Amino acid sequence: MSVIITVAPTGPIATKQDNPMLPTQPDEIADQVAEAYAGGASVAHLHLRDRDDRPTADLDIAARTVELIRERCPILVQLSTGVGLTVPFEERERLVELRPEMATLNPCSMSFGEGEFRNPPAGVRRLAARMRELGVKPELEIYDTGHLDACLRLRDEGLLAEPLQFSIVLGVRGGMAATAENLMTMVRRLPAGAAWQVIAVGRANLELTAIGLALGGNCRAGLEDTLYLRKGELAPGSAPLVARAAALARDLDLAVADVHGARRQLQLPH
């Protein structure tokens, strides 16, 4: 088994004012994804922005971004159906119609910082069913212990196929705090055979990414999760964060998966 590194170049909230290197337009995102691919990322987790840099689920913008990425490198594409807190669920769920290799599935509604992240149960079921129909692999985003239980219920209802793939999200205000203890609790509770990665948001990004790798998980790196390389030093893009994650893995004697290895491990069709 080798470590799958997912690059997350653009999130739902940060702006270029927070970090001028944040890519927001399709060509900027594609360029940074290609750099991250060269540094060891095999999956690209994507949020899109409109011309005014607001989060969007616009299918043309998404398709254009994916096309530009495919021109540059063969990285696996994972579209975020989380999109952004202001975009209605009914728009967000349409993104899977582009049939990316993967897409996120956020199983529950929650507070998210000062905003609300709406994932109504009927919508989540509909989206899970549609992803299964289209052959889009869900990345299950769990921000709390109850979110894992919700995913297991979806599995039991036949809406999710095994092996399940989880992101354990730590550090969002409204979800679990970014602590090693919370990570351990979640890892212990995962069903046998599940793939998982840590998404550590904010200051604890480096530390919890390292702990996740040491525990046998995959990892995610990029400006979506932290805007800084270290305290007071803005990251000049996602590639340096990916390079750091790859170095951490190698220092732990773990191989970094290429796209073929990632496909195999996640049991995606070839």
Interface region with ligand KMH, contact rule CB under 6 A, candidates 14-22, 34-42, 76-84, 231-239? 76-84
Give the whole-angstrom CA distance, residue 78 versus residue 92: 14
CB under 5 to 8 A by kind: which of Zn ion, ligand KMH, none does 169 bind?
ligand KMH
Interface region with ligand KMH, contact rule CB under 6 A, candidates 24-32, 79-87, 124-132, 247-255? 79-87
Please report how many Cα atoms fall inside a 13 Å half-sphere around the Cα of residue 222, on the Cβ side.
30
Return all residues near 37 (Cβ < 8 A) that are at least 6 apart. Answer: 7, 44, 72, 73, 74, 75
CB of 17 to ligand KMH, least distance (A): 18
CB of 13 to ligand KMH, least distance (A): 8
Residue 169 touching ligand KMH (CB under 6 A):
yes
Residue 224 touching ligand KMH (CB under 6 A):
yes
Strands 48-49 and 218-221, how do they pair?
A: unpaired
Helix H segments across the chain? 26-38, 59-72, 89-92, 121-134, 145-156, 180-189, 205-214, 239-251, 259-266
Residue nearest to ligand KMH (CB): 82
**Which one of residues 66, 110, 124, 172 is an interface residue with ligand KMH (CB under 6 A)?**
172
CB under 5 to 8 A by kind: which of ligand KMH, Zn ion, none does 217 bind?
none
| Subset of 51-80 contacting Zn ion (CB under 5 A) | 80
Interface region with ligand KMH, contact rule CB under 6 A, candidates 21-29, 80-88, 176-184, 185-193? 80-88
Give the whole-angstrom CA distance, residue 27 versus residue 20: 15
Residue 136 touching ligand KMH (CB under 6 A):
no
Return all residues near 53 (Cβ < 8 A) that are at least 6 apart. Answer: 15, 16, 24
Give the whole-angstrom CA distance, residue 236 versus residue 215: 28
Q: Residue numbers of the site for ligand KMH (CB under 6 A)?
A: 11-12, 80-82, 104, 106, 141, 169, 172, 199, 201, 224
